[in-house]
Amino acid sequence: MSEYLVTGGAGFIGGHLAERLVRDGKSVCILDNFSSGREANLRSWGDRAEIIRGDIRDRADVTRALSGVRVVFHLAALPSVPKSVADPLTSHDINVNGTLNVLIAARDARVQRLVFSSSSAVYGDSPDLPKREDMTPTPISPYGLHKLVGEQYGQLFTRTYGLQTVSLRYFNVYGPRQDPQSEYAAAIPKFITCLLAGRPPTVFGDGEQTRDFTYVANVVDANLAAAAASPEAVGQTCNIAGGRRISVNELIATLKNILGSFIAPAYAPPRPGDVLHSLADIAKAQRLLGVAARVELAEGLRRTVEWFRRQSPAS
């Protein structure tokens, strides 16, 4: 039996979180169907965790994984705006039905606290900046809507069943081990791998859209803080971000500077469902969870570039 369950623990963020727990000497169970999670993310430490190859939509898998668990970190999802636009039914099944399944099983197992991974996509494309948790959500993609439903289900389970839940809205997480190969991969790993290979990175839109990028170690810190936070945090939603924004063009210029590259990006039409500007107000997370961005953007990008450079065949 394990004290901590990380759903999606073989994924990018989940793998970093599970690794931190294991290296801190915690008893950890990972539930992942490996549809996007990777064995490579577990390579150096996975033998010290219980790994269940299962699906959050399968009640038996979730019930088995929850045996003896005190805290659930629910990260398993289909985390893609474009994929949710192309196939909203599958995205809904995983992100909404799967989350409800985890909440019900956690309630029945008398779990102490569940930390839910949400997304800045819930804010949609409102021009108001910075994004604050008390703003009315206006998601413009199925993925954003699904994450909002997950937050609200968590709050309902807190009010109705007494399951302690905290939701964290991530803003553009990046870092080592992020998969650049998927058609729906995040921007930073794609940009880095293109520049390392001597290819122009593709920018959707004019590159003047802005993002509040968040280094993965800061997200791990926030999850651990949310699991241990005071009762005041229960039933609440907090932005997890750096609290500063940078345009995609500026980001590529920074990466080119770190890599010593002179390759210009290639521009393509904007993608449906993508927001233009994103910036988080992180005061609530600082107040309720006691966390701020420990790793700043420049340092996080440097660490990420160095990791991808070590993986590059040319290195």
Residue type at 77 in one-letter notation: A
Contact indicator for 170, 219 with CB cutoff of 8 Å: yes
Q: Which two tokens stand for residue 57?
A: 């939509």
Q: Which two tokens stand for residue 13?
A: 């963020």
Burial group, residue 80, by CB count within 10 angstroms (0-12, 13-18, 19+)? buried
Q: Calculate the average pLDDT of the chain.
A: 95
Q: Which two tokens stand for residue 260?
A: 């010593």
Q: Which domains does the chain have, with CATH numbers?
A: 4-171+215-241+283-288 (3.40.50.720), 187-210+244-279+296-311 (3.90.25.10)
Q: Which two tokens stand for residue 134?
A: 């008390």
| DSSP states of 142-173 | HHHHHHHHHHHHHHHHHHHH--EEEEEEE-SE
pLDDT given for residue 271 in this prediction: 85
Cα dihedral 292, 221, 15, 314 sign:
positive
Q: What is the pLDDT of residues 6-54, one digit of tens each?
A: 999 999 999 999 999 999 999 999 999 999 899 999 999 999 999 999 9
Question: What is the set of active-site residues?
Answer: 143
Q: What is the pLDDT of residues 54-97, one digit of tens each?
A: 999 999 999 999 999 999 999 999 988 889 999 999 999 999 99
- For residue 117, give the 3-state DSSP assignment: strand
